[in-house]
Every structure is written in structure tokens, then in C-alpha cells.
Structure 1
Amino acid sequence: MQKDTNNNIDTILNSTIEGILLIKKGFIVNANDALVQILEYNSKDELIGNLATGVLIPSTTQKFLEFNKHLFQEVTLVSNSGDLIPAIIKISDIELSKKSYKIVSIIDLREIKQNENLLFRQSKLASLGEMISMIAHQWRQPLNSVASIMAKLKFKSKKNNAIKSEDLANEIKSIQNYLKYMSKTIDDFANFFKDDKQKEYIDIVKTTQSAKKLIEPSLKAANIQINIHEIQIQKIYTYKNEYIQILLNLLNNSIDAIIEKNIKNGKIDINFIKSENYLRIKISDNAGGIPKDIINRVFEPYFSTKHDKNGTGLGLYMCKVILEKHFNGTIDVKQIKNGVCFSMDIKI
């Protein structure tokens, strides 16, 4: 009878595609074939009798991951060869033959993590392209000014055969100022886009204003006004560069939509709403909105409304991933009068 019961349990455990551990008082009493394969053992007999913590290493602080709209705890598995495997688990209590056990369902995240890293790299390249475009905007006017000064000096030199030292000094000073501005632009972008992943205390309103300065040439060229509605709020301990990356992505989307729809007086409003545990940042525009049939898909990877303009479809997806992973936050979008409003919540 006991043998039949064990056979039935094995059949049930092996009917799932995820790895399964059966644990009693911290020790492994059974495992399915899927887990044996994940951990690279020859048979489950090599696992049975060992402490579960020998193959399951919980993180130092409990971390949870959303997968198929359910929350699971993140852990690390240790394979037979000593390799570390990212995974998520769900633990439940179960009673078999009047005995209490813990049953642990395990999903191997290696393939998912590899795909996620690929998306991050692709998003990084897309961000680099946007950064180069913004630097080009910032540099165009000073380069034109320098070219104009050089042409003027050349003309004066040919006409008078001599240039007054005072005029030359003034023109050189102007060129130096333009070069300093261009150099500062490079420093600003280098600071904002470097991948340092360091948390720091930031003034969220001032950081938002700094991000706005990076895209001012694009705003002026398209006659778009950004209104930042300031509030008094304590500094937040978070990732400054990643916040700016998210913000620039949302702002550039609104700018593109305003330009594409030929809105004469484009407007983007940024509002801050503070609650006890979260700061909500609302970014709304008057670009006409997103069609109802696709608005719920804008956070999907590779989904883009800008294919004609080389949209990658990764920008909003990466905003969502970064907010969830590094800010314990969320992002959503809804239609408003004459446009859309993106709301992101950051835990404080």
C-alpha cells in the first residue's frame, strides 16, 4: 500500500513542468524529475535526505518577482556542479498519509534572465542613440555660432588685412564660451547616462528640472512647453540616473507624439503627489492620446507605435521593468482630455 502511495505521489510530482521538492522538517524527502534535471543530478536519490537549504539559498532580504501576474519569492539554486541558478519558488503546506510536509514549486529563471539581459542591452543601445541625438541638438546652435565667428574673422582678415586685437580677443572669448558649453553638455550626459547603479539622496523636483534641461533644444524647436509643478518633499534615497532615464523616455514619447500630430502649442505637465509611502509623478500631455485598442499594450516588449520612426518598442517596457525592480514602483497610463497621463509610483 505504501509503495502504491509513493508511486501515486511520484506520478503527481512528475506531472508538472516546474521543479518540485517535498520537504519534512527541513529535509528533502522527495523530488520530481524536472528538478533533478534543473539541478543536474543523476537521480532524485542523490537529493533525498539532504537539507533543503543545500540546494535552495534564499536572498538575504526577501525579494519577490511578479510572474504571470502572481508574486513569487526569488531564490538561488545550487546545482550538482556548484553553479548558481536564479529561480522563483512558491511554498505550500500539504498533508500526505496524515503527515505534514512542505511542497516547494520551483521555476528556473535562467532563460528568462538571459532574455531580460538581451532586452536591457537592446534598450541601452536605443538610449545611446537618443543620447547622441540630444547631444546633436545641444551642439547645433553653438557650432553654428562658432562657424559664424570664424567666417566673420576670415572676412575681416581679407578685407582689412588686419584684425583689431580687441575684436580678436572678444571673438576668441565667445568661441571659448561656446566650447565650454559644449564640454559641459558632454559631462551632463555622461553623468546622467552612466551605469553606476548607485543609490543616493536626490531632490526629485530638482532632478526633474535637470532632466528637462537636457531636452530644451528639442522643446524650443517644436514650441513645446514643459510645466513642472513643484512641491516641497524630502530627499529620496534612490537611483538618480535610472529615474532620469525613465523620465526622459516618457518626455521624449510625448514630444514625438506632439510633433507627429502637429500640435501647435504642445504642452507637458509634470505633477508630484506625495502619500505616506509613495511619491506619484504624473506626466500628462496634449498630444491627442493613444488609441483605445492599443493603450493597454504600450508596456509590452517590442510593441511600438513609432515603427516608421525606428521605434524599438522597448522604452516603456524598460520603464516598467526599472520601476518594478529598482524602485519598488509601478507605472500606468490612462486617457485624459486631449492626451494621455503616465503615472509612476516610487516607494519612499
Structure 2
Amino acid sequence: MNAIIAQPKDHAAAILVIDDDANNLAIVSSLLQEYSYTIYVAEDGESGIRRALLTRPDLILLDVLMPGIDGFETCQRLKAVEATRDIPVIFMTALAEMDQKVRGFDAGAVDYIIKPLQREEVLARVGVHIHLRHLAKELQETNASLEKRVEDRTASLASTNDELQKEIAERKLAEEALAIKQEQLEALNLSLEQRVIEEVEKNLQKDRLLFQNTRLAAMGELLNNIAHQWRQPLNKIALLIQGCLYESNEGKLEHESFKSCVNRCMEHITYLSNTINSFQSFFMPEGEPGKFDPCETVEKSLALVRSSYEENGISVRIMNNGSVPMMGFRNAFSQAVLSILNNAQQVLLERGTPQRLIEVECLYRDGKNIVTISDNGGGIDEKIIGKIFDPYFTTKFKAQGTGLGLYMAKMIIEKNMGGRLSARNTQAGAEFTIELPLPDS
């Protein structure tokens, strides 16, 4: 099957790649050139249309989201021109919703490739549609040849009945060949779907590993915060015990003084015990969604790390403007919030921001619980703002970060809870917005 999907010299096939991201153009071009395809590139819809009219490629790979005219309009304009109407178009997009796919097929596309691009899927889908294109051309040429021959025979009136029967037989053979090729294509499509299913399963396994790695990283951060939470109470207990010992050695230890010391020690010990319970519940697995209030969960999450923030001179304000209880995964939501808070803390410390401030606002609007987390750290570089949710993307040294925190926060909010996580720059810094639709809304 690979000989059909990734045929290296399949009629010297030419492919036009239209994408405004130079990195994507380089990746796709490099991948396809390995199989001796002739590659043309364009960085927007207008230049892509001009290049298609000039080169007449066998296949067009078209990005959906581009400046100027987007992929849908570009495809419609290509299909409106006789010279490019029959060139198959495959969309490359991160938009996986069904209505987006339907819109693409209505525009004239023949297939979709979902970003991030998978090497085997790209080669498989490109190979199939290149092969289909060549089969279509062969069939068109065959039919045109047969029609011409029949026309010549009829015009000359020199053919005999045997010759006419021969022409009919040739057409029948061509139809039988077409039927055989159609069966081959159907089998190829079935095999392609199986390979896509296998690739999806591999990606799911990678996602599970990413979740586990991020959970371990979060556990390490929380253990560090336990040290911050426990240090002051333990110091107080030590001072109380030393004070009792000193009074005892001096013969000044009275019953009421000793009782007061014991009571204060027990208060600190109870606080330490409650802290352990809070951290333990944070990592408790959730089999089923439960009812929780997003703002209360944010407050409890912040309580786990507040000591670390205070030590670093970071003020955190929580404004509850009307969030409502909802069904969902409380602990997973808490982990996503802590990932965003930790990211803000790291930015404030790295940039040495004076009067460091993080603000969290919780509200209910249009059937959604909305949580915004903003800081005054100067914002996100516009060159990388579109990549901050990519797995393993980090601006820190490898020893300082895994690049998984924001990626996993987005996966938790969007895949586990059916919500949306986005980021933008404000005048003061960065703002992350979590939108959680209520199931009954």
C-alpha cells in the first residue's frame, strides 16, 4: 500500500502549498520533497491563486486561517476559474469542528489535514489524492481518445460492423478497468482510515503521557509550596517549646503558662494537618464530575501557594462578581488555575516587576462561568503569543521548565471540561480567560 500512498515519482506530481506561516511551509515542503514531488509555495490567498494559474499543480495544500482572504474564500475562487477548477484542494487547519469541515467541503475541498501535522497522515492523504488526480486524468484522456475514435469511424463511414463491435468492446474494457480501479481506490480509502485511527490512538497515548508528566511537575511545585506553608508554623512550635524548656529550667514554668504553650502548639499542629488534607485532596483522582464553585476553588487553590507569593512580594486579589456552582472536575480545574498562576509568578520574578500584582475575577455571563487571571508583568511577546499553549514550548532553560503547564491547562479546560482558554495582552501585562459553559445553559 505504501507504494501507492507515497509513490516517489508518480508522474512528477506538482504540489502547491499555501500557508502564511513560513515554518509550516518549510516543514511541509521538506516532507514532500523527500518523495520527489515538485513543490511550489505561496504565503497568502491572492498569491496562491496567481501561482496556481501559472503552475497548474496536481494538488493544492491550503491553510484555512490566513491574512487577507482566508482559505475558504481562496478555495471558492480557485473553483470558480476553469483553469483551476479541477485541481483538488486539501485544507490544513487546527479547526476540527464539524461545521468548519462542512464549510470547507462546500467551498470545494476534497479532504482535511488537522494541525499539528502528522507525517504519515500528510503523506497518506497527499498520496491518495495525487493518485486520484492521475487516475482522473487517465480516464479523461481514455474517454477523449475513445470518443475521437468513434467520431472518426462514424464520420468516415468506412468502418465495418466488426470494427464497431471492437470499439464497443474497447469501451467495455475501459469501463471494466475503471470499475477495477474504483475497487482499488475503495480498498485504499479503507486502509487509509485504519491508519488514521492508529495515528489518533498514538496521539492519545502521547496525551496521556503529557498529562502524567504535568501532574508530576505540579506535584513537585506543590511540595515546594508545602515547605513554604510549614516553615513558619514549625518555627513557632520550636520557639514555644524552647520557651517552655527555658522557663522549666529557671523554675518559672507555671501550669497556666504550660497549658497556653500546649494550646498554641496544638493550633499550629492542626493548621499543619489541615494543610496536608488540602494537598492530599488536590491530587485525589476524580472518576466523575461533581458540583463546585469556580471562585471558591480558585481561593482554595491560591491558599496552597499564598506563602510562596507573599515571600516574593506578589499581591493577589480575587474578585467574586457572581460565579455560580456548576458540574465539573474540581481538582483538574484547580490544577489548570495553578498552572496559570505559576506562569504569572515566574514572569513577574524574571522581569523584576515592581509592585507585583495578580488579579483574578470570577463572574457569570451568557450562560458561562468566566475566570480571568491578569498580571502586570508587561505582557507576552507578540511573536510567541500564538505558541504559548503548544506542548513543550517554553522560553526558559530546560532545567527551569518543561513547557507543559499552559498546554495541559488548555487541555483540561477545553477537552476535559468543554470550555475555552485564551490569552491576550493588556496595557499592564497578560490576561488569561477561562470560559466554562454550564451544562444546563
Provide TM-score, normalisation by structure 2: 0.56
- Give the Å deviation of 1:15: 5.6
Q: Which blocks of at least 5 consecutive residues in structure 1 are unaligned?
A: 22-104
- Give the Å deviation of 1:11: 4.0
Is the alpha carbon distance of 1:326 and 1:246 closer, same or farther for their aligned partners in structure 2, counting shifts above 3 Å? same
| 1:237 and 2:319 correspond | no
- Which residue of the partner structure matches residue 19 of structure 1? 192
- Any idea what SS the aligned residue of 2:378 has? coil
Distance 1:334 1:188 in 2: 32
- Which residue of the partner structure matches residue 274 of structure 1? 364
Counterpart of 1:115 (choices 178, 185, 206) is: 206
- Any idea what SS the aligned residue of 2:379 has? coil
Distance 2:270 2:212 in 1: 32
Bigger strand fraction: 1
- Give the Å deviation of 1:315: 0.6
- Which residue of the partner structure matches residue 348 of structure 2? 258
Distance 1:194 1:139 in 2: 21
267-276 vs 172-181, which moves further = 267-276
Distance 2:349 2:388 in 1: 19
Q: Is the 8 A contact 1:290 1:340 kept in 2?
A: yes
- Any idea what SS the aligned residue of 2:377 has? coil
- Which residue of the partner structure matches residue 387 of structure 2? 297
Bigger helix fraction: 2
- Which residue of the partner structure matches residue 234 of structure 2? 143
> Identity, % of aligned pairs?
28
- Any idea what SS the aligned residue of 2:328 has? strand
- Any idea what SS the aligned residue of 1:226 has? strand
Larger gyration radius, structure 1 or structure 2:
2
- Which residue of the partner structure matches residue 330 of structure 1? 420
- Give the Å deviation of 1:341: 0.5
Deviation sequence 1:290-312 (CA, Å, 0-9, x none): 22222211111111123266211
- Which residue of the partner structure matches residue 125 of structure 1? 216
| 1:285 and 2:375 correspond | yes
- Which residue of the partner structure matches residue 217 of structure 1? 307
- Give the Å deviation of 1:106: 5.0
What number of residue pairs does the alignment pair up? 265
- Any idea what SS the aligned residue of 1:19 has? helix
- Give the Å deviation of 1:233: 3.7
- Give the Å deviation of 1:18: 6.0
Which residue identity lines up with residue 192 of structure 2 in the other structure? G
Is the alpha carbon distance of 1:288 and 1:127 closer, same or farther for their aligned partners in structure 2, counting shifts above 3 Å? same
Distance 1:243 1:153 in 2: 45
| 1:196 and 2:369 correspond | no
Q: Is the 8 A contact 2:361 2:372 kept in 1?
A: yes
| 1:342 and 2:428 correspond | no
Q: Which runs of 4+ in 1 moved over 4 A?
A: 13-18, 105-108
Measured on the aligned residues, the alpha-carbon RMSD in Å equals: 2.4
Q: Which blocks of at least 5 consecutive residues in structure 2 are unaligned?
A: 1-173
